[in-house]
Amino acid sequence: MGSGGGALGLSSPLFANGHLSSSSNSTSLPLPVEDGNHLAMVKPSSSVVNLPHYKWRLLIAYDGTRYAGWQFQVSPPTIQCIVEKALIQITKLERECLHFVGASRTDTGVHAWGQVAHFITPFNYDSLETIHAALNGLLPSDIRVREISAATPEFHARFSAKSKVYHYKIYNDTIMDPFQRHYVYHSVYKLNTAAMREAAKMFIGKHDFSAFVNASRNDRVPDPVKTIFRFDVIEMGPLIQLEVEGSGFLYRQVRNMVALLIQIGKDAIPTEIVPKILATLDRRELAKYALSAPPHGLCLVSVKYNQEHLLLPSDCPTTSFGRHHTITKCKLPFY
């Protein structure tokens, strides 16, 4: 345990003579606070003016089967809630001090290999390997922190994101592989991948995706105009992998696009239906042809950033990718 604050592996811009020392990262500017689905700017009180702060980036993988998505709620549990509890236990900080934010609000049952998040501490770390090991030691086995690195003050897991990549997997055979049942959607219909590939290309570009968004519990109105950079349909034996990269995605947008492609793959509707539905800007039009694809086939694979957002601050600890255990041989005395 490090000194001051009860956190692991600390170095000290911490408490000298009972006061916070000065820091290049100190600030008296308003701090961002996550409040449900909103980002509010809160002016610090006089007790936290000139508070040093350090920002840390996490790369997180999880099996979303048991969780009600990413976004914070206590019951039923979410990924953000579980990871935040572990951070609170390790850093001894309150939730509102961590400012823990994820890049993507994955839905109930959706998985992730490359979710990105950040949090803030008023102290630095000598090494990130200790807190990395502690986090994974506290987290359940279906949530893993793959990497921890320092981040610049300008980095924001959500707002700095340049694009996000999702994969949706379909097992296209008469008998489902039981080992993939939690991560792959099973279609017993023989799918026409050539038609799906042609239709997927029609999503590429900048469009208003109002016809492909479900009504969410958000009381804010997101921008329905998004850019799809690529939408690939890849065959790997009985497995069909749909890979989509976009500037951002609306609530259930990916699953709604996939659902329409599956109907096209069944040859139930023609490929030309894609631009026609897009043009209506009406979710009810899509509902005439397809419902949302199940969540378990969807995975957030990566979040991409401009290189300047991934630069490490000066005098920061080395990025932690985890550490291997080694066996120390016993040296038995000779008699």
For residue 252, the one-letter residue type is R
Give domain limits for the chain. 54-159, 162-301
The residue among 315 and 52 whose pLDDT is bigger is 315
**What CATH class does 54-159 carry?**
alpha beta
Residue (of 255, 236, 242, 244) closest to 196 by Cα position: 242
Above pLDDT 90, what percent of the chain?
75
SS3 84: helix
Asked whether the CA dihedral 269, 288, 232, 296 is positive or negative, the reply is: negative
**What span, in angstroms and rounded, lies between the C-alpha atoms of 48 and 50?**
6
Output DSSP code: residue 256: H
pLDDT band at 209 (very low <50, low <70, confident <90, very high): very high
Match 């109105």 to its residue by tokens: 221
Give residue 73's pLDDT band: very low, low, confident or very high (50, 70, 90). confident
Is residue 10's pLDDT more than 50? no
Residues classed as catalytic:
107
Mean pLDDT of the chain: 85
Tell me the per-residue pLDDT of 112-134, one tens digit each, with 9 for 90 and over.
999 999 999 999 999 999 999 99
Q: What is the pTM of this model?
A: 0.83
- Assess whether the region 54-159 and the region 162-301 belong to the same CATH fold: yes
> Residue 47: CB partners within 8 Å, gap ≥ 6?
none
Whether the per-residue pLDDT at 44 is higher than 90: the answer is no
Give me the pLDDT at residue 3, please. 39
Q: Rounded to an integer, what is the distance from CA 93 to the centroid of its chain?
A: 22
Helix (H) or strand (E) holding 279: helix 273-280
Res 192 pLDDT > 70: yes
Report the half-sphere exposure of 63 (CA within 13 A, side-chain side): 11
- Report the distance separating Cα 13 and Cα 7, nearest Å: 13
State how far the Cα of 34 lies from the Cα of 41, in Å rounded to an integer: 9
Class of domain 162-301: alpha beta
Distance CA 151, CA 53 (A): 11
Let me know if 272 is exposed, middle or buried by CB neighbors in 10 A (0-12, 13-18, 19+).
exposed
Q: 56 pLDDT band (50/70/90 cuts)?
A: very high
310 secondary structure, DSSP code: G
